[in-house]
Amino acid sequence: MSTVLEEPTSQSVTTSSDRLRSTMAAARLSFNWLGVRKTLTSEQKTQAADSFDAESKYLSASKKLIDTTHPAYKAVTSVRSRAVSYWKTVSLPYPEPGLRLIKRETIGDFDSQMEAFRNELAVAVSELDLHFAEMREAARDRLGDLFDVSDYPVTLVDEFAITHDFPAVEPPNYLRQLNPEVYESECRRVQSRFVEAVELAEQAFLEELAKLVEHLTERIAGQEDGKPKVFRDSAVTNLNEFFDRFRSLNIGSNEQLDHLVSQARAAVNGVGPQELRTSEQLRQSVSTRMASVQAGLDQLLVDRPRRNIQRRPR
């Protein structure tokens, strides 16, 4: 027997946005990063254009300063990637560029983890700096006449940095005394931002779950050459990680989404990747239950556009 769930009312969304506003803080992650490309000078573009019998004003060209495939450079960029991934994993989207919302109670953990990433970055940059001279000389050979030693810093030690802060998104209290009318206007603006943040959170959870469910269903239901398709453990573990994150960050704003997440969790509860590989009966059972979840997610994805809040042009 199927259950018909109502769409969230405007009152429930407002309640969720108030809850979000009272329990979350904005967190911003920023980077100072060495530029690895530089635009060619006008003279160099003219020279390049001549080789193609083209006009330089219609040509856009740049040179690559160092080999970004070098293991030492990849180790540096790996730290940045993991920092961004962590930031996004423990936070919800917010409709202001560069800001995301984290639970206030996790600020200490977030701060500690960012410090750990900064320490990792310092070690990785020190290692990269040991190879910098040889990388610069390799660039001299590759770039030929385009090489310019002034494009390169003496050392890389201060060329990479990870910073974070917690910007205030609430209107300042002093504004209440200085101009109550402007203060009230700012309060309404912030409230609308958090209402939109609820919508963005729902959309992000919905789209991520839909991709994970679709991937798992396709791998366990399909066949190749008459045999079950091969799938990685991550097809299951990624779902379980999503459930943990959803439980931690969900604000209960969408009953339909909550219900579908519960259905998906129940479908793979206690099921390991190896069990799915060896048991056809289990694959069929999980596939059938996931197909039902997928149908519900597809319907929600279709319904979402008319409920989305339109962003203001910025």
Domain boundaries, the chain: 16-40+62-165, 181-303
Instruction: Copy the structure tokens of residue 144.
Output: 């030929």
**pLDDT, tens digit, 9 for 90 and up, residues 204-223:** 999 999 999 999 998 888 66
Q: What is the mean pLDDT of the chain?
A: 88
pLDDT band at 309 (very low <50, low <70, confident <90, very high): very low
**3-state SS assignment for residue 222:** coil
pLDDT beyond 70 at 286: yes
**What gap in Å lies between CA 282 and CA 292, rounded to an integer?**
16
Q: What is the pLDDT of residue 158?
A: 92
| Per-residue confidence (pLDDT) for residue 220, from 0 to 100 | 85
1: pLDDT strictly greater than 70:
no
Q: How confident is the model at residue 308 (pLDDT cuts 50, 70, 90)?
A: very low
Tell me the chain's radius of gyration from C-alpha atoms: 26
* Mean pLDDT on 116-136: 97
pLDDT in tens, 20-47: 999 999 999 999 999 999 888 888 777 7
Please work out, in degrees rounded to the nearest 5, the angle formed at the alpha carbon of residue 100 by the alpha carbons of 263 and 121.
Answer: 110
> Averaged over 233-239, what is the pLDDT?
92
Dist. CA 288–CA 304, nearest whole Å: 25
The answer on pLDDT for 103 being more than 50 is yes
The mean per-residue pLDDT over the stretch 103-115 comes to: 97
